[in-house]
Amino acid sequence: MIDQFVNDPNIMKHLDAISRRRTGDPDAAEELTQETLLEMIEENYKHIGQFLHEFRRISLNVWKREKRRQDKIANVDIETLTYNTPVDVDQVIDRLPPTQREIARLSYSGYTRREIAHSLHISQRDLGTVRNQIKVNVEAML
């Protein structure tokens, strides 16, 4: 467990410094540190080097995922939303079959194809097939 590391103030200062360098913002750094530690909580790290290496790796993934999510929000065309029929994305996703629903939620949350395939224990090729099925089903609903 990570308790032995997060209870050490010096280690927490080091984690905060890593996050601050990555984000450039103290508030965002604190959020990144917390999100990263939440993802690491179930793992068993034997020594500090392994823990810090994983923190750096996972915090980079968390930071990239958040940036992708923010970019998606920033790229929404307000005029399209205003003039097209409003669609509740959650309602559309809820109407998908369970596997497609889970993949759609993960994708919409900003996870990469590789991360989704890994978490669901399927190949990226199979994931592509399911994503195509999602597209067909969503288009049929609209």
Q: How far is CA 29 from CA 9, 26, 115, in A?
A: 16, 5, 23
**Whole-structure pTM value:** 0.51
Could you give the residue ranges of the DSSP H alpha helices within the chain? 3-6, 9-23, 26-40, 48-74, 78-83, 89-94, 98-108, 113-120, 124-141
pLDDT tens readout for residues 81-135: 444 455 677 788 888 899 888 888 888 788 888 888 888 888 888 888 888 888 8
The C-alpha atoms of residue 22 and residue 5 are separated, in whole angstroms, by 20
